[in-house]
């Protein structure tokens, strides 16, 4: 019998504030899945320089340590790996799978409102493909004029180049990958030359994550991530999506739920054990 593969999981918070109960659940879930013999990593997803603050990183680690979590050092920062994200972007660009998109948010909204054929995904209208249809000369002119642009994935072309894909969620089972549900996603934003989707896929591969755990609100993103892994020739992990923690009125927890931040719960006298129990993790 072969020895069971040891698992590598990660908790990947964005340092845009302190952690709340929902983050605690995600972190405990990832650590539990790594198991006693696995590797549990923390990665600061700090590519959005406008929203992330270094001072939150210390607070996040303090909260996680207080909860009783132990992780592998060093804690990595996504912003330290922007050149690798850039290389992945260049790979896709060289394969002619990307196009520059000059649209503003307002232009996209207007275009969607005016068109009765705008593509829709499960989460609402998709990018209508305006800049995919630009002529080469118009594109070159706008680039030469210095207009700012994002890089979007040409989804139809990417799907033409790949066989039908599947991915495996340990709870939901084998999934037919349907990245087209997300349309021509932005892979490098106008302001930061990468995106959540691109960086997360590159970093999970670099850190040899074997099991990607994340909230079920990101289930759709995993369809796209499987496609990006194939296009970038990266190894295939498995996934496990977990429930989200809701407040009394059924709303997802967010930064505005200040009373449910771990810092405030601690100040109010809650113990790490009581938090773990409340979230269904009585054992560490
Ligand atoms: N930084 C992302 C978040 O906080 C991580 C999600 C993921 O696991 O990919 O939602």
Per-residue pLDDT tens digits for 7-37: 999 999 999 999 999 999 999 999 999 999 9
62 and 88 share one domain: no
Order of strands across the sheet with 8-11? 8-11, 39-44, 76-77
226 and 100 share one domain: yes
Residue 86 resides in a domain:
yes
Give the domain CATH number at 35.
3.40.50.620
What span, in angstroms and rounded, lies between the C-alpha atoms of 202 and 114? 37
Q: Name the nearest CA neighbour of 149 among 103, 98, 88.
A: 103
Domains in the chain, number: 2
Point out which residues pair with 125 in neighbouring strands: 120
20 and 106 share one domain: no
Say whether pLDDT at 160 is over 90. yes
Q: Give the closest residue (by CA) to ligand 1 atom 5.
A: 12
Q: Give the closest residue (by CA) to ligand 1 atom 4.
A: 13
145 and 255 share one domain: no
Count Cβ neighbours within 10 Å for each residue of 241-270 and write b for 16 or more, e otherwise. Answer: bbeebebeeeeebeeebeebbbeebbeeee
Residue 1 resides in a domain:
yes
CA distances from 66 to 119, 136, 246, 264, 272 (A): 46, 56, 22, 13, 7
Say whether pLDDT at 2 is over 60. no
The tokens describing 148, both together, are 């700012």
pLDDT digits (tens, 9 = 90+) for 179-202: 999 999 999 999 999 999 999 999
The set of protein residues with a Cβ atom below 6 angstroms from ligand 1 is 12-14, 45, 200, 214, 218
150 and 190 share one domain: yes
For the segment 239-246, the average pLDDT, to the nearest whole number, is 94
220 and 284 share one domain: no
- CA 13 – ligand 1 centroid, Å: 6
Q: How far apart are the first and last CA of the chain?
A: 28
Q: Give the closest residue (by CA) to ligand 1 atom 10.
A: 13
Task: Give the number of the atom of ligand 1 that is nearest the alpha carbon of residue 200.
Answer: 9
Ligand 1 binding pocket mutation candidate from 33, 76, 196, 209 (most atoms within 8 A of CB): 196
Q: Which pTM value belongs to this model?
A: 0.94
200 and 118 share one domain: yes
When mean pLDDT is compared across 81-85, 110-114, 162-166, the lowest value belongs to 110-114
98 and 48 share one domain: no
For 21, the domain range is 1-74+246-284
10 and 88 share one domain: no
What span, in angstroms and rounded, lies between the C-alpha atoms of 93 and 13? 28
66 and 151 share one domain: no
- CA 12 – ligand 1 centroid, Å: 5
When mean pLDDT is compared across 12-26, 96-110, 211-225, 239-253, the lowest value belongs to 239-253
Residue 7 resides in a domain:
yes
93 and 69 share one domain: no
Residue 240 resides in a domain:
no
């Amino acid at each position: 019998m072969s020895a069971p593969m040891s698992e590598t999981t990660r908790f990947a918070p964005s340092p845009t504030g302190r952690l709340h109960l929902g983050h605690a659940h995600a972190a405990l879930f990832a650590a539990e899945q790594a198991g006693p013999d696995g590797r549990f990593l923390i990665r600061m997803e700090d590519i959005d320089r406008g929203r992330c603050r270094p001072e939150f990183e210390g607070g996040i680690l303090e909260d996680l340590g207080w909860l009783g979590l132990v992780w592998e050092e060093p804690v990595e920062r996504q912003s330290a790996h922007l050149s690798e994200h850039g290389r992945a972007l260049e790979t896709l660009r060289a394969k002619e799978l990307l196009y520059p998109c000059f649209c503003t948010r307002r232009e996209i909204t207007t275009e969607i409102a005016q068109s009765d054929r705008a593509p829709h995904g499960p989460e609402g209208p998709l990018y209508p493909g305006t800049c995919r249809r630009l002529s080469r000369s118009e594109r070159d002119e706008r680039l030469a004029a210095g207009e700012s642009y994002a890089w979007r994935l040409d989804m139809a072309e990417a799907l033409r180049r790949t066989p039908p894909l599947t991915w495996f969620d340990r709870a939901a089972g084998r999934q037919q990958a349907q990245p087209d549900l997300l349309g021509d996603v932005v892979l490098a934003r106008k302001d930061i030359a990468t995106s959540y989707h691109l960086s997360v896929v590159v970093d999970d591969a670099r850190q040899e994550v074997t099991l990607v755990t994340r909230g079920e609100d990101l289930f759709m993103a995993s369809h796209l991530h499987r496609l990006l892994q194939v296009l970038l020739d990266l190894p295939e992990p498995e996934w496990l999506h977990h429930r989200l923690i809701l407040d009394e009125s059924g709303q997802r927890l967010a930064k505005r739920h200040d009373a449910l931040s771990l810092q405030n719960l601690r100040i109010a006298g809650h113990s790490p054990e009581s938090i773990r129990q409340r979230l269904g993790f009585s054992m560490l």
